[in-house]
Chains A and B, each alone.
Chain A
């Protein structure tokens, strides 16, 4: 297991008021993302626990892209990863933000 931590300046703050949301499951090639409204609206914190060791550079690229494109400010994303591919990670991160911004679900 490997733990990776990131703290990035966010392009935009997340909308909505829900305190938390969760998406995905921990399975082979899949991951769960727990997203909580924590911290300054200009910052995004991400903590990853992954079974696939040695992929820090790929995580940094996917997460940098996510924080730049999405409204991830004021959020803390905690990830349990079962060895998901980068495209699956990007999808789950986007789903997590959409879910916490949607006060109807």
Chain B
């Protein structure tokens, strides 16, 4: 599409501007406050004024929302101490307000290794705050379609969300391709095989497996429409829902545990020609996914 704005190519600030109602965004702890990482200067690395995390409030189709966006081009969107604290604070605000939805624009490779334990702790704090916000009644929606994908601790945080929307370019996983190859060998996973990476971690696979609730085109309009829809569809969050989720995951493992490639899973899911899936355009894929996806158990 010539002239269309790409979510993948946009910066975190551009994504927020295009996602929200015009001129509705108000930033919390903005770049002018210069809350930069206290760790990066130790390594002689440059800081960014917002530490790669933009948080604030705005309006989506007229409704008040809290928003957070990661900048995937600054240190791979990695979660450091300040980066994580800003998201934790936003989620605690949502917990206290109780009903205002939170929309998180993920774009991260996971924990910032230079910040080590502070970064790992930040991820744990974010997950706790996210679950407290959901318990209080605030839906938390994740949007995934950035350059860095959503990996490591970011993948764990995404797994805690009420619902996820993903584009074909989005990838969701915990260990990234290079990490798996380094630890398990190239025979286990060839990180240079881009087709393998995309059909194992990419948006289409996540949608067909039921990990992502919505598959969208790589445009701000598509992500906006998905966020508006998912805000109102978020499942409740209680022990019964978690038991249903556990049953669903056990069933998934039972059915697909023996598969060695995503093609096998898609075939077992009822896709007539699994090898065609990577080449399907967005609309054709959505039609296919709607016809074959796993049954929904009011859980992700």
Contacts and interface: CB of A to CB of B under 8 A. Distances in A.
Interface in B50-75: 50, 71, 73-74
Interface string B138-168: 0000000000000000000000000000000
Contacts of A49: 46-47
Given A20-B32, A25-B71, A51 B45 contact: yes
B31 A26 contact: no
B46 A22 contact: no
Contacts of A27: 73-74
Contacts of A80: 46-49
Nearest to B71: A25
B170 to A, nearest CB: 19
A34 B49 contact: yes
Interface string B1-42: 000000000010100010000010000001110000000010
A26 B75 CA distance: 8
A43 interface: no
A20 B47 CA distance: 19
A22 B44 CA distance: 23
A100 to B, nearest CB: 12
A30 interface: yes
Nearest to A32: B48
A101 B17 CA distance: 17
Query: Interface SS of chain B: helix, strand, loop or mixed?
Result: loop
Contact of A25 (B41, B44, B45, B74): B74
Contacts of A50: 46
Nearest to A24: B11
Interface residues of A, number: 20
A9 interface: no
A26 B48 contact: yes
A26 B47 contact: yes
Contacts of B46: 1, 26, 49-51, 80-82
Given A1-B41, A25-B11, A105-B17, A34 B47 contact: no
Interface string A92-105: 00000000000011
B233 to A, nearest CB: 32
Nearest to A103: B23
A36 B32 CA distance: 8
Given A78-B49, A80-B47, A26 B74 contact: yes
Q: Which 8 A-B pairs have the closest CB atoms?
A: A26-B48, A25-B73, A27-B73, A22-B31, A26-B46, A25-B74, A80-B46, A20-B32
Interface of B: 11, 13, 17, 23, 30-32, 41, 44-50, 71, 73-74
9 contacts: A1-B41, A25-B71, A25-B74, A26-B48, A49-B46, A50-B46, A51-B46, A80-B48, A105-B17
Interface of A: 1, 19-20, 22, 25-27, 30, 32, 34, 36, 49-51, 78, 80-82, 104-105
Given A22-B31, A26-B74, 18 more contacts: A1-B44, A22-B13, A22-B49, A22-B50, A25-B11, A25-B71, A25-B74, A26-B47, A27-B74, A32-B49, A34-B32, A51-B44, A78-B49, A80-B46, A81-B46, A82-B46, A104-B23, A105-B17
